[in-house]
């Protein structure tokens, strides 16, 4: 059975809705990456050094990551020698399969939930990455599941952050615990935890400040928030999700490395994947960080925040190639 057929079968049990969201959300990456690879394979009549150099350029341009690209291309060279491949078209399914392998990880990308009591999820990340929007969308997701959700406006330093979260609270019908601008974020978290206990909430989603990751006082603020939450709810927070803007590519990876080392991050959220041709950053992050991608933003609608699924991601990215399985095309001739 061909790789493409196996991939199609592996996602056959997924819902059409999710498949469409991944496919539509990854359209720019598909055009910017997969179509360039297809063009290279069609244009080049033989596999030589120039072929591999151009392939490297395409992969690096998609933000797959230099280290990952060098390793991947070296493996492809080995397959060419081993299988005595001469036609670039024969390399296409091998490349696709290797990219799938890079995306698949052993780590659990489910959001950790408290077995009893309140689940506390803390969101960190620099300003402008879509943190507040992600919190609002996740609140909607949990509310749709029948959960009682409360949001905490812990980003008291950024102008408009509290109001932005309140807008989301009104939109999704979720209470927002807040204080005035400039207030102590740890005090807001204390109020939010007490409110969550009193209201019998299932989930508390906490926004935090997002000033530059190398500011030591921000890390001190986060540590204070941690201490308050842990004192009030032992074992919390159950997740610390770092939100990254996929459109910033390698800069997002740098942020994750710097921020993640200092703030106890347990998982990543990649926003705005629909707005970039550099979807390869997901591969780079999976390869270079020991952190699971838990959620991805694939559009502006509330339903477009999706749990990361490597098979759905690959299906969305390689939709054109899967439809053009070379083995099946040959069989139908």
Q: Where are the alpha helices (DSSP H) in the chain?
A: 3-10, 16-25, 27-29, 35-43, 49-61, 66-83, 92-103, 131-144, 161-172, 185-199, 216-232, 250-263, 281-288, 310-317, 319-323, 326-331
pLDDT digit string (tens) for 34-67? 888 889 988 988 999 999 999 999 999 888 889 8
The pLDDT tens digits of the residues spanning 117-154 come to: 999 999 998 888 999 999 999 999 999 999 999 999 99
CATH number of the domain that 175 lies in?
Answer: 3.40.50.300
The answer to whether residues 143 and 171 belong to one domain is: yes
Ranges 114-118, 208-212, 284-288: which has the least confidence: 208-212
pLDDT at position 319: 67
Under a CB-based contact definition with an 8 Å cutoff, are residues 319 and 30 in contact? yes
Tell me the residue range of the domain where 57 lies: 3-107+316-331
Residue 176 is assigned to a structural domain of this protein: yes
209: nearest Cα among 183, 233, 171, 232: 183
Look at residue 325 and tell me if it is in a domain: yes
Are 180 and 124 within one domain?
yes
CA pair distance 192, 195, nearest whole angstrom? 5
pLDDT at 25 over 50: yes
Q: Which residues are annotated as a binding site for GTP?
A: 125-132, 207-211, 271-274
Both tokens of 306, joined, read 């999706």
Domain count of the fold of the chain: 2
Whether residue 236 sits in one domain with residue 175: yes
List binding-site positions.
Answer: 125-132, 207-211, 271-274
Same domain, 323 and 199: no
Q: How many CB atoms lie within 10 A of CB 312?
A: 23
Band of residue 323 on the pLDDT scale cut at 50, 70, 90: very low
Examine residue 113 and state whether it is found in any structural domain, yes or no: no
Whether 114 is in a domain gets the answer: no
Question: Do 64 and 203 have their domain in common?
Answer: no
Tell how strand 203-207 and strand 175-177 pair up.
unpaired
- pLDDT one-digit tens code per residue, 160-218: 999 999 999 999 999 999 999 999 999 999 999 999 999 999 999 999 988 744 455 78
pLDDT in tens, 90-100: 888 888 788 87
Q: What is the per-residue pLDDT for 320? A: 58
Strands (E) across 62-162 are located at 119-124, 149-153
CB 125 within 8 A of CB 259: yes
């Amino acid at each position: 059975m061909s790789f493409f057929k196996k991939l199609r079968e592996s996602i056959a049990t997924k819902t059409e809705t999710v498949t469409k969201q991944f496919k539509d959300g990854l359209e720019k990456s598909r055009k910017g990456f997969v179509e360039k690879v297809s063009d290279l394979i069609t244009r080049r009549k033989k596999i030589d050094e120039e072929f591999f150099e151009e392939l490297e350029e395409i992969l690096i341009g998609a933000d797959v990551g230099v280290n990952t690209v060098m390793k991947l291309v070296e493996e492809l060279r080995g397959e060419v020698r081993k299988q005595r491949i001469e036609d670039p078209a024969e390399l296409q399914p091998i490349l696709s399969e290797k990219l799938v392998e890079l995306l698949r990880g052993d780590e659990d990308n489910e959001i950790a939930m408290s077995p009893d009591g309140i689940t506390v999820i803390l969101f960190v990340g620099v300003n402008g990455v879509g943190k507040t929007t992600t919190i609002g969308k996740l609140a909607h997701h949990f509310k749709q599941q029948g959960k009682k959700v409360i949001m905490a406006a812990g980003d008291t330093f950024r102008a408009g952050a509290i109001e932005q979260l309140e807008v989301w609270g009104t939109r999704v019908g979720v209470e927002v615990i807040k204080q005035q601008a400039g207030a102590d974020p740890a005090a807001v978290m204390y109020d939010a935890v007490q409110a969550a206990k009193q209201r019998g909430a299932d989930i508390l989603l906490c926004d935090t400040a997002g000033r530059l990751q190398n500011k030591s006082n921000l890390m001190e603020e986060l540590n204070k928030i941690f201490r308050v939450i842990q004192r009030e709810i032992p074992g919390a927070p159950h997740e610390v999700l770092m939100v990254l803007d996929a459109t910033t590519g390698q800069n997002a990876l740098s942020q994750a490395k710097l921020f993640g080392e200092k703030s106890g991050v347990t998982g990543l959220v990649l926003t705005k994947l629909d707005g970039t041709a550099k979807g390869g950053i997901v591969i780079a992050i999976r390869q270079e960080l020991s952190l699971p991608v838990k959620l991805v933003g694939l559009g502006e609608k509330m339903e477009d925040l999706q749990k990361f699924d490597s098979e759905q991601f690959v299906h969305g990215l390689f939709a054109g190639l899967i439809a053009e399985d070379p083995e099946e095309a040959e069989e139908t001739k």
